Structure 1
């Protein structure tokens, strides 16, 4: 190798972000860079001149390797690996971790030697260990949270059931007539008990979904009938809020889905629309088949959703700022549950509209339901 070629090779090695050594086909050192010398503290301890044998250098480098790192020892192992690209992560005795890469050099099939690269990946490995530890901690916290949520929800159900039962008993005319004021108080008790019951149901459903996802029972669903039933179930709430409701649903094919879960989703959207829309406003439900999907929209003329929070609101326990500042009750679970159920149907749910003018929640559900789960591999 001429002087110019040697200088060029040295310049290339010095530009590399890793320690580097070039080995000749006869196991001699052709060149090393400064990073390699510094990485293994070789300055003044080894002759690294071009053409010197590599053998004296090997034990100086291996002295940094942790005792548990396995190296090829037999001639057969060494020859078998000589002509193959190989990578290894090597723990060092000083706590560092390096990645060693050996790349055979060839030209027209002839073996010309090898390029050895040594990269310090200690920071990356520490970050990896920290991430694994943090993930484990988060997993444990999630389990504790789910256990607490389930236990608290079950504990709340018993006294709430008693409150609801006594409220129904007081409403029975056989118990005695109530004054207008007493009837108003009783309505407030029943209304808030119902709201608490829905919150508890959402908490329990959220816990189950986090554990294994909602259990769905797929069957043919008549979409116009489902929407009509859902609207009728919530008309009392809509009328109490002094709102108008419009349903515009085209005819179309049956949808393969879980009617109970889908009605839960649509009911949540109607409850939100009624909650966030001032008296005199309008709730509009539209639905039509488009290609292989059903598109369903629930629109209102309420406070709307800020653009920057249209994705956040589908995360559990997250509520838009205008909902929080406006004093509207809620847990932020309904839309998270809705997204999970819709996605389990192979569909999507998105939010639109304009803040201050109203919200639009759009569902797109495949007529044939979700694609089949992949079967086990061979």
Structure 2
């Protein structure tokens, strides 16, 4: 039986643990709160994130990171993106050599503008945790995979049909992960375009905020469809400069994830944006949000990444101005709509 470690007991970490167990894996989840870990083991339920959903018997939980990591063929990282580096610096020495590191996170690191796979490669190579014979990040890259796509945790925990993408520079590793999480309701596809898959997942959170703001303002479907479409164009422009395969953005990691995030009330980013669009302050919206909306912080790092590469991302810039600069949504909308006209391909 394939052994998996899942670091993180939030909604997506818990739901993906269920997927792995349903695919025949034995899963140990790590949680930072001992009380929640005890509850998971005693009641077979995560009351904080997925109440009413029973965990498979093959899933157990621990607050001991070394216990979770021991013997894991796949080590799944499911923590908020801005906490990844600090957490992984503590966990890396505990990892088994050769373990495949799987990122469920959809963000870009503040300050460095690095994608999550880049952070993983950098930290693991630095800590010497199975960096491989080549040493350094290149010795780790073939063991870092990304899982992304239209994967709303609550629906997957209910075992509703969903598809996803598992991306890795090493195609054989991607196929191994595909097998480890393939169930009758969860259909993963493989891809070697890690850059495109990660960008699609990170930027869609920002566009999800924008569409949520539009919803909160009472704007119509034309406006929201325009934001989704032009948001995908922004993502593809940035991806092109960074070497992503343009076809990725037409697939599950691009359009698929974007549509789910921008249209579902289960999307944290969409809900966060809706509250802002209705007139709530940032502090009020944060207080009303129980879980991490990755786009709130990542919009700044995505914009930073775009500016480093001289890529124009006006919707992302508008979201940053509303979320972090306090610009009223109506003012920001007027500025966005008054931009100079241009050909659609630009």
Instruction: Provide the TM-score with structure 1 as the length reference.
Output: 0.26
Pair member with larger Rg: 1
Q: Specify which structure has the higher proportion of strand.
A: 1
Q: Relative CO higher for 1 or 2, CA cutoff 8 Å, sep ≥ 6?
A: 2
Q: Given the two structures, how large is their TM-score scaled by the length of structure 2?
A: 0.27
Structure number having the greater helix percentage: 2
